[in-house]
């Protein structure tokens, strides 16, 4: 005797111990009462599909295996777990290329190498002005030499600054 089952909203027919999925009209699922739905299903089965389907396992039955994801850090040359990398939205794998340790040393080293610090900015600007004045003097001297001016005239240009 054929038995019709409804498992997770899909209709199956059991024939001699084999479970087969059955194609039915979608209006059957509009019937609210499960008993009435099964009666209508038994009378309106269109045709069984060719493939035999075993009901799916529930997610609780499948053992969870955690994927261990690692990434290579080119700075230190080691392969580390992805939790050892900072996130970076612009990269395809969403992780920085250097690990956290290498990234921290890289940023601290680059901050130490900054040529201009905020407290020394006034002195640096003064030096830049002096360099500009010296370069303008040199330009005037070069121009004077190319025009064939006397050296006493060139010394007057230098004394102006």
Summarize pLDDT for 13-32 with one digit per residue, the tens.
566 555 555 555 455 455 55
**Higher-scoring residue by pLDDT: 87, 120:** 87
- Which CA distances in Å does 4 have to 45, 50, 52? 10, 16, 14
Q: Residue 102 pLDDT more than 90?
A: yes
Share of the chain above pLDDT 90, in %: 12
- Give residue 69's pLDDT: 84
Q: Residue 82 pLDDT more than 60?
A: yes
Contact between residue 99 and residue 75 where contact means Cβ atoms under 8 Å apart: yes
Domain parsing of the chain, residue ranges: 3-52, 70-112, 123-160
**Higher-scoring residue by pLDDT: 46, 160:** 160
The distance of Cα 134 from the centroid of its chain, to the nearest Å, equals 50
Q: What is the DSSP code (8-state) at residue 150? A: -
HSE-CB of 140 using CA atoms within 13 angstroms? 17
- Give residue 138's pLDDT: 72
- Give residue 149's pLDDT: 72
**Higher-scoring residue by pLDDT: 68, 141:** 141
Contact between residue 14 and residue 46 where contact means Cβ atoms under 8 Å apart: no
- Give residue 60's pLDDT: 59
Averaged pLDDT, 87-110: 89
Q: Residue 89 pLDDT more than 70?
A: yes
- Rounded distance, CA 136 to CA 151, Å? 17
Name 65's Cβ contacts closer than 8 Å, sequence gap at least 6.
none
DSSP letter string, 45-105: --EEEEEE-PPPPPTTTSPP-----EEEETTTTEEEEGGGEEE-TTSTTSEEEEEHHHHHH
- Which CA distances in Å does 151 have to 139, 143, 158? 15, 12, 11
Q: Residue 118 pLDDT more than 60?
A: no
Confidence label for 98 from pLDDT (cuts 50, 70 and 90): very high
The distance of Cα 129 from the centroid of its chain, to the nearest Å, equals 45
**Higher-scoring residue by pLDDT: 38, 49:** 38
List the structure tokens of 53: 């389907």
């Amino acid at each position: 005797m054929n038995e019709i089952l409804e498992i997770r909203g899909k209709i199956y027919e059991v024939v001699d111990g084999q479970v087969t999925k059955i194609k039915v009209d979608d209006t059957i699922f509009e019937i609210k009462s499960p008993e009435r739905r099964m009666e209508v299903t038994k009378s309106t089965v269109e045709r069984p599909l060719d493939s035999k389907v075993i009901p799916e396992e529930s997610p609780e039955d499948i053992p969870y295996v955690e994927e261990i994801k690692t990434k290579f850090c080119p700075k230190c040359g080691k392969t580390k777990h992805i939790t050892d990398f900072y996130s970076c939205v612009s990269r395809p794998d969403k992780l920085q290329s250097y690990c956290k340790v290498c990234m921290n040393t890289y940023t601290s080293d680059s901050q130490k190498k900054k040529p201009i610090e905020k407290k020394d900015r006034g002195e640096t600007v003064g030096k830049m002005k002096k360099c500009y004045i010296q370069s303008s003097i040199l330009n005037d001297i070069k121009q004077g030499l190319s025009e064939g001016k006397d050296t006493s005239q060139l010394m007057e240009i230098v004394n102006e600054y």
